[in-house]
Amino acid sequence: MFFADVIVDISHEKVDRPFQYRIPERLQDRISIGVCVWVPFGQGNKMTQGYVIDVTEECHFDPAKMKEISSLSKDGVTVESRLIQLAGWIRENYGSTMIQALKTVLPAKRSVQKLLIRKVERRASREAVIAALGEAGRKKQYAKEKLLRELLDNEVLPYEWIVGKLGVSAAAVRSLEKAEILSVVTESGYRNPVGERKREGTRNRLSPAQQHIVDSVLEDYDKGIRKTYLIHGITGSGKTEVYMSLIEQVVARGKQAIFLIPEISLTYQTLVRFYQRFGDRVSLINSTLSAGEKYDQCQRARNREIDVIIGPRSALFTPFPEIGLIVIDEEHEGSYKSENSPKYHARETAEEVARLHGASVVLGSATPSLEAYYRARTGKYGLFQLNERLTGGSLPEVHMVDLREELKAGNRSIFSRRLQELLGDRLEKGEQSMLFLNRRGYAGFLSCRSCGYVVKCPHCDVSLSEHGGGRMVCHYCGYETARVTVCPQCGSRYISGFRAGTQQIEEKLQELFPAARILRMDADTTRTKGSYEKILSAFAGGEADVLIGTQMIVKGHDFPRVTLVGIIAADLSLSVGDFRAGERTFQLLTQAAGRAGRGESPGEVVIQTYQPEHYALVHASHQDYESFYQEEILYREMLSYPPVAHMLAVQIFASQEEAGLELAGKLAEAARGFIDERESVEKRLLLMGPAPASIGRINDIFRFVFYLKYADYGTLLQIKNALEKLLEEQPLKKESVQFDFDPMNTM
Ligand code: ADP
Ligand code: ZN
Ligand code: ZN
């Protein structure tokens, strides 16, 4: 007798364990891992859909009392075993329910109306068509004549084209159908969100450096070697061209490819390049597609109607039968990590998909994540460098402005003297400028405007955040101290948070340059759909002299007329209470600087800061990744932060503050118990916290967090499993717990 472990598709923590069902004789050879079935569930034996996650001959309890699988589900997309396997891996490695993991990887089962495609087929002989053509000509029926002429050359024509482009009325088509010259046939098809586009012949001949990468990866591939490669190359160095060649070669070997991009940097130019190369064998998945369109892209992938999919991290779960290559562009982007449980990272998950399919992985970035570069440096990844911009344009000149000096000189404005002078110059010459406020993750740190001193946690070496009640708090370990009012380093009273927003910058700039035409892009001005694109294209079209904005403005778009980029306060992203602050700042500044001087005239960049000597700023100003990496990795090593060690964040959500705190304490204590048991292990496991999250309450839900750091991921997994078990044994009432491995942000 055979039994199936079935996961029931109900979104509730309780069902995160398989239920065993008997497999009836008649279904025996049709049940396997990944099949979608109907089963009677619960007290009332309600018919419920489930996924088979295992088939065994062992039964866990009395087979006589065991219920039976009723039938196979006829519901559209069947679940494939690889995706189920992948869900299992995600569940284990990131911590979530199996149901959540399954929902992450499986395409939304949605019964959508099939798109109907109408075609016109010739039914009569050529002679009959010629006769009809003569008749139409005599009767001056020009529309019919046009259609008949087309039918002479083509047996089949798209109906939409006939009534659209060709301009023949539906009535004319009907009358020819009546005369049995043609018939209108209806077929079901898939929605293709991009429409079909022709391939065009022109393509670049790869440079020797590009060719070397393509050859090396393919040589490995053909030898059966599968691994991950990192291409470190500045913007414009030809990475995309390399990706396309590799994809083309892998497709030629009968496989499919996934091309991941951060959603925000998916530009029209990139799409067009892919369509020109791959025609209608490439498709796109992104958040603007309807559920039906997404579903259709999955169907097309499953049926091998496309070879390449482009999309954000969720495109990893495209149900291709045989994936040969996964490319992740801009792999350092934070958006590759899911913010919801399961908090998977696309990089590692891509490697698991690749393992399941026997595929290779290629990562690319101008500013690689510490994770990827560390693995490349330690030999785990293959490393390639592309050092030359193929499109010309020189690197911009960077001016570092010390804001402490500005204060000394009596300038209290947001704009340094240098920035004011250069802005004026650009306005005079009719060139464009961008002002950038890197505000994301801003957590109210305190710094001294006289000497640049930043108040930091003595245990974690990250900035303390200002809280109500005159306190400063560390969001890793919970360390708390009274807010300082005098700078501990120089005694100045100018110690405060930085409060200027984009709107204030706009006002001050307008005061300074009343004639300047200014556009602002931030969360406020991009609330409505399409406003983001509208602002960017207005700026690209020269409708403004200055664009002020947050992170959003540094990505994706090319503005050849921009010759000045000003970074208002580099310290904002440098001093968030997060161990990745230096890395993120380096990336942002490098990207922002890359915005200046894309065109003919060389660009200039002004970086305003209280800490001009900070290594992330110094190396960013020279666009020197390698030196930045060397210093950053030392810091990570010293404090056991990823990628040198691993970090597990345990996040607790509770509607009652007391209950949340109690649960956090209990879990942390359990984790600590685990640490004591293993004290003999030479590299010590570190526990930080519990502490209130950086946003301590959202929608009346209190949030707490504690962190575990350890060199070995497996040990952290064991701890996570032990904590999950503890939670299972003592079910939660209103609280909930989430796990986040190697977190991208402090919670
Ligand atoms: P990246 O992805 O690193 O930003 P791209 O592949 O987009 O770089 O290349 C930048 C520009 O250089 C593009 O306009 C591209 O068409 C062009 N380009 C890339 N490779 C070559 C080549 N081998 N010869 C000529 N132009 C190239
Ligand atoms: Zn000071
Ligand atoms: Zn701390």
The first and second tokens of residue 273, run together, are 């390049």
62-66, 426-430, 687-691 — most confident range: 426-430
Q: Where are the alpha helices (DSSP H) in 279-363?
A: 291-302, 346-357
* Ligand 1 pocket test target in 213, 241, 274, 388 with most atoms within 8 Å of CB: 241
- Which of 6-15, 121-130, 349-358, 521-530 is the least confident region? 6-15
Closest CA to 113 of 191, 194, 193, 195: 191
State the angle between helix axes of 502-512 and 417-429 in degrees (0 to 180), rounded to the nearest 10: 70
Helices and strands in the chain, H and E counts: 22, 30
Report helix, strand or coil for 585. helix
**In contact, 606 and 416? CB cutoff 8 Å:** yes
Report helix, strand or coil for 288. coil
How far, CA to CA in Å, does 143 sit from each of 148, 180, 422? 9, 17, 63
* Ligand 1 pocket test target in 210, 235, 240 with most atoms within 8 Å of CB: 240
* Any domain includes 715: yes
Domain-terminating residue out of 87, 105, 123 = 105
Residues with CB under 5 A from ligand 3 (ion): 457, 459-460, 474, 476-477, 479
CATH of the domain at 694: 3.30.70.600
307 Cβ inside 6 Å of ligand 1: no
Residue 14 sits in which domain range? Answer: 3-105
Are 654 and 728 found together in one domain?
yes
Are 32 and 81 found together in one domain?
yes
The pTM of this model reads 0.79
236 Cβ inside 6 Å of ligand 1: yes
Closest CA to 298 of 279, 311, 275, 317: 317
pLDDT band at 412 (very low <50, low <70, confident <90, very high): confident
What are phi and psi for residue 331, nearest 5 degrees? -65, -15
CATH of the domain at 10: 3.40.1440.60
Are 515 and 623 found together in one domain?
yes
Distance 711 CA to ligand 3 centre (A): 19
With tokens 């003919």, the residue in question is 600
Nearest CA to ligand 1 atom 8: 238
Are 665 and 724 found together in one domain?
yes
CA 90, CA 123: separation in Å to the nearest integer? 55
Are 41 and 125 found together in one domain?
no
Are 538 and 669 found together in one domain?
no
Domain-terminating residue out of 635, 664, 681 = 635
Structurally, how many domains does the chain consist of? 5
Are 627 and 669 found together in one domain?
no
Output the pLDDT for position 546. Answer: 95
365 Cβ inside 6 Å of ligand 1: no
Are 427 and 513 found together in one domain?
yes
Are 617 and 523 found together in one domain?
yes
Are 651 and 631 found together in one domain?
no
pLDDT digits (tens, 9 = 90+) for 624-657: 999 999 999 999 998 889 999 999 999 999 989 9
Closest CA to 520 of 555, 540, 542, 550: 550
pLDDT digits (tens, 9 = 90+) for 648-696: 999 999 989 999 999 999 999 998 888 766 654 555 778 888 988 877 7
Are 371 and 412 found together in one domain?
no
CA 668, CA 689: separation in Å to the nearest integer? 8
With tokens 């685990």, the residue in question is 674
Are 58 and 131 found together in one domain?
no
**In contact, 212 and 384? CB cutoff 8 Å:** yes
Q: Which ligand is nearest to the CA of 690?
A: 3
Contacts of 718 (CB under 8 A, 6+ apart): 674
pLDDT band at 453 (very low <50, low <70, confident <90, very high): confident
* Any domain includes 682: yes
* Any domain includes 476: no
* Any domain includes 196: no
CA 93, CA 345: separation in Å to the nearest integer? 10
Domain-terminating residue out of 386, 410, 427 = 386
pLDDT digits (tens, 9 = 90+) for 262-290: 876 666 667 778 888 888 889 888 777 77
Amino acid identity, position 738: Q
* Side-by-side strand order, sheet with 480-482: 465-467, 471-473, 480-482
* Any domain includes 161: yes
Distance 689 CA to ligand 3 centre (A): 8
CATH of the domain at 605: 3.40.50.300
Buried b or exposed e, range 621-633, using 16+ CB within 10 angstroms: bebebeebbeebb
User: Rg of the chain over CA atoms, in angstroms?
Assistant: 30
CA 356, CA 85: separation in Å to the nearest integer? 9
Closest CA to 33 of 78, 75, 77, 63: 78
CA 732, CA 730: separation in Å to the nearest integer? 6
* Any domain includes 573: yes
* Any domain includes 261: yes
C-beta contacts of 584-589 below 8 A and 24+ residues apart: 584/334, 584/441, 585/438, 585/616, 585/617, 585/620, 586/367, 586/616, 586/619, 586/620, 586/625, 586/628, 586/632, 587/332, 587/367, 588/438, 588/551, 588/554, 589/616, 589/617, 589/620, 589/621
